[in-house]
Amino acid sequence: MKTAVFVEPGKVETQDLPKPEIKQPTDAILKIVRACVCGSDLWWYRGISDRPKNTPVGHEAIGIVEEVGSEVTDVKPGDFVIAPFTHGCGHCAACLAGFDGDCLNPSDDEVVGYQGEYLRFKNANWALVKVPGQPSDYTDDQLNDLLTLADVMATGYHAASSAEVKKDDTVVVMGDGAVGLCGVIAAKLRGAKRIIAMSRHEDRQKLAKAFGATDIVAERGGDAVKAVMSLTDGAGADAVLECVGTEQSVDTAVKVARPGAVVGRVGVPQKADMNTNNLFWKNIGLRGGIASVTTDDRNILLDAVLKGEIHPGKVFTKQFDLNHIADAYAAMDKREAIKSLLIVSQ
Amino acid sequence: MKTAVFVEPGKVETQDLPKPEIKQPTDAILKIVRACVCGSDLWWYRGISDRPKNTPVGHEAIGIVEEVGSEVTDVKPGDFVIAPFTHGCGHCAACLAGFDGDCLNPSDDEVVGYQGEYLRFKNANWALVKVPGQPSDYTDDQLNDLLTLADVMATGYHAASSAEVKKDDTVVVMGDGAVGLCGVIAAKLRGAKRIIAMSRHEDRQKLAKAFGATDIVAERGGDAVKAVMSLTDGAGADAVLECVGTEQSVDTAVKVARPGAVVGRVGVPQKADMNTNNLFWKNIGLRGGIASVTTDDRNILLDAVLKGEIHPGKVFTKQFDLNHIADAYAAMDKREAIKSLLIVSQ
């Protein structure tokens, strides 16, 4: 079967590899319908983070269950599912509390290769999210919306829920990548009245506005702080979504928060150490981490997509097939695409 | 009038100073009934933090309104009030959001000298908390309970509310000082099912249990983490109250939290920099800071005291009068008292 493989920094190619097989009784084999490239894939693509060479890649997909292990009862062959990048067991204290991204029963048995024709998915019983009907029941746009629930929309939502965005809040969203843009959608979905998107790229500003941003701040650093303070009468934002992870972005996020606000962060921290006194003396909270994909999909996001209330699939601004995987990565690397879609089968 | 004055590290004495007068139209003059010594007073008493010499001290009291400025309408002479250490204006974004400890309208006009016969209190209109009736309507124990609402009980509650303690939670409380003990009360008040108090002093363990602690962990550091993990089947606590502020205590607080839990901290951070990656990868939140005294007193704490549901006044294990202020400080410095009460007038 065809699967995208990381060869070396700057080089991803489609190779013909053996179709995966059930290894654990809790596994499922999925036939992938659509997959996509994540901003975090660019780290190893660009050689910023290490990744073993010649490994299958991708961690976001939707597909059809082809086969299930003996202990899988929640999904059956033929079911249309979202394949989250997380694999919560569904019964540990973390999963039960809604933090399936930090499942307490991880296994060394890593799942790789969502950007391919077939995928072995572990903890299929709980972690897969069933979608009603079949892919053919949905339009292309709807399939794209569903695909975002495997990671990017759930991650944007995690920023908003970690920041405890509530009705009528004024929210600042740091970052105009696909996650930040989904953060705008999430803030609106949770009832924010005013959404200030920090963005300096015209195409992304436009999408942020389409998603519900009421204000755009193009400045960075101290100027960005001034701009937000001016927009909020000197008070700062009720909630801040940090969807970048750089030291400057985290610093700005804290500075634009009003006392008592929470910075919800999903941008992987570039720097571990941080001056937390700045949080303490303003009662600013810091929450966030790996998204609660399965939990949030089941409780709110799938419903919002099925009802057509949100359209996160618009973050896919270019589409490719597996034969053009190199182009899909290059388009994101060169910022020609906000997020690259892969049509695998239909 | 008699007022406690910081002379130099290790020396607090009662001096005869002029009675304070109204300076702002939003001021009130209070006749103090009871005051107390705070653990944080020990910092300058011990010379750990700087404080100008020959300055009146204390920031917790209950008293009677003697005189009000022209703009004060919420309280009138004769009213019995709690005098919080915070002085929220009541109308800025921080106060309105319930974070009056971080009021956005601070003034340079510092209020000092709660440990004295009279006190000038600023922002009296909103920041003072009215108590029904007169001091003579209450027992000594009830007056002590009310006094804790000026700081220590509200601060313990702030740790619990910052940690988002909810019904049936398993909660860890770091610190067995008066604040930590009040944190135990707060966790129980918010419905915690299991409260693990980290304490290695027998008298404090006993009080923690009386306040609702279900388990005591006397170990520190790695052994404390092991003990909590063993008590929680390896999951960690649903909420952690950090009432110490040392690097070790904050580190332990993060390590005993289950994924998704929040560490609510009120211990003034000893060290600014902290590795926040440990938070991110387990979705552990960090909240807290200066207590929302007025807000929480009005919304929940005063009611709980008046109904006799909580008895935080038990943290006063020794009592003194202004003529023995030096003994009141020494008792806390030598850990002979959990918290020293000052009977000023009755």
A62-87 per-position pLDDT tens digit: 999 999 999 999 999 999 999 999 99
**Chain B nearest CA to A164, separation (Å):** 11
Structure tokens at A9: 């920094």
Which whole-number Å values give the CA distances from A145 to A16, A138, A305, B318, in the listed order? 29, 10, 6, 65
* E strands in chain A: 2-8, 11-16, 28-36, 55-56, 61-68, 80-83, 118-121, 129-131, 170-174, 194-198, 215-217, 237-242, 257-265, 273-275, 285-288, 316-321, 339-343
pLDDT score of A112: 80
pLDDT score of B227: 98
| Residue of chain B minimizing CA distance to A247 | B276
Which CATH number fits the domain that encloses residue A218?
3.40.50.720
Band of the pLDDT at B107, cuts 50, 70, 90?
confident
Q: Which domain holds residue A266?
A: 156-288
Task: List the beta bridge partners of residue B2.
Answer: B16
pLDDT digits (tens, 9 = 90+) for A189-209: 999 999 999 999 999 999 999
Rounded to an integer, the average pLDDT of A152-159 is 98
Is the domain of B304 the same as that of B282? no
**Chain A nearest CA to B85, separation (Å):** 15
Report the SS3 class of residue A171: strand
Residues 143 through 172 of chain B touching chain A, CB cutoff 8 Å: 162
Is the domain of B98 the same as that of B184? no
Is the domain of B14 the same as that of B145? yes
pLDDT digits (tens, 9 = 90+) for B315-331: 999 999 999 999 999 99
**Chain A nearest CA to B203, separation (Å):** 30
Spatial distance between the Cα atoms of B197 and B174, rounded to a whole number of angstroms = 7
Q: Is the pLDDT of residue A259 over 90?
A: yes
CB nearest to A290's CB, from B232, B262, B283 = B283
Is the domain of A6 the same as that of A138? yes
Is the domain of A255 the same as that of A317? no
- Whether B170 contacts B238, CB under 8 Å: yes
Q: What is the mean pLDDT of chain B?
A: 96
| % pLDDT > 70, chain A | 100
Rounded to an integer, the average pLDDT of B79-95 is 96
| % pLDDT > 90, chain A | 96
Is the domain of B142 the same as that of B162? no
Q: What is the mean pLDDT of chain A?
A: 96
* Contact state of B275 with A272 under an 8 Å Cβ cutoff: yes
Phi-psi region of B67 (alpha: psi -120 to 50; beta: other; left: phi over 0): beta
- DSSP annotation of A19 reads P
pLDDT digits (tens, 9 = 90+) for B153-189: 999 999 999 999 999 999 999 999 999 999 999 999 9
Spatial distance between the Cα atoms of A216 and A208, rounded to a whole number of angstroms = 8
* More confident site: B148 or B272: B148
- A283 touching chain B per CB within 8 A: yes
Q: Is the pLDDT of residue A103 over 80?
A: yes
Which CATH number fits the domain that encloses residue B314?
3.90.180.10
Phi, psi of A169 (to 5 degrees): -70, 155
| Residue of chain A minimizing CA distance to B92 | A235
Candidates B271, B283, B284: best to mutate against A (most CBs of A within 10 A) is B283
Is the domain of A120 the same as that of A71? yes
Band of the pLDDT at B109, cuts 50, 70, 90?
confident
pLDDT score of A106: 84
Is the domain of B164 the same as that of B264? yes
Candidates A164, A168, A170, A287: best to mutate against B (most CBs of B within 10 A) is A287
Phi, psi of B271 (to 5 degrees): -125, 130
Q: Is the pLDDT of residue A111 over 80?
A: no
pLDDT score of A144: 98
Candidates A155, A265, A280, A295: best to mutate against B (most CBs of B within 10 A) is A280
Q: Is the pLDDT of residue B108 over 90?
A: no
Is the domain of A115 the same as that of A165? no
Cα three-residue angle B186-B182-B280, rounded to 5 degrees: 65
Contacts of A262 in chain B (CB under 8 A): 285, 287
Is the domain of B172 the same as that of B201? yes
- Residue A170 half-sphere exposure toward CB, CA atoms < 13 A: 19
Rounded to an integer, the average pLDDT of B248-261 is 97
Q: Looking at A248, A273, A288, which one is the last position of a domain? A: A288
**Chain B nearest CA to A74, separation (Å):** 25
Spatial distance between the Cα atoms of B188 and A306, rounded to a whole number of angstroms = 41
Band of the pLDDT at A107, cuts 50, 70, 90?
confident
β B2-8/B55-56 pair status:
antiparallel
Q: So what's the ipTM on this one? A: 0.95
Structure tokens at A91: 């019964």
Rounded to an integer, the average pLDDT of B9-21 is 97
Is the domain of A255 the same as that of A206? yes
Q: Looking at A288, A307, A335, which one is the last position of a domain? A: A288
- The structural domain count of chain B equals 2
Is the domain of B300 the same as that of B277? no
Spatial distance between the Cα atoms of A63 and A129, rounded to a whole number of angstroms = 11
β B170-174/B237-242 pair status:
parallel
Q: Is the pLDDT of residue B346 over 80?
A: no
Q: Looking at B249, B271, B288, which one is the last position of a domain? A: B288
Q: Is the pLDDT of residue B89 over 90?
A: yes
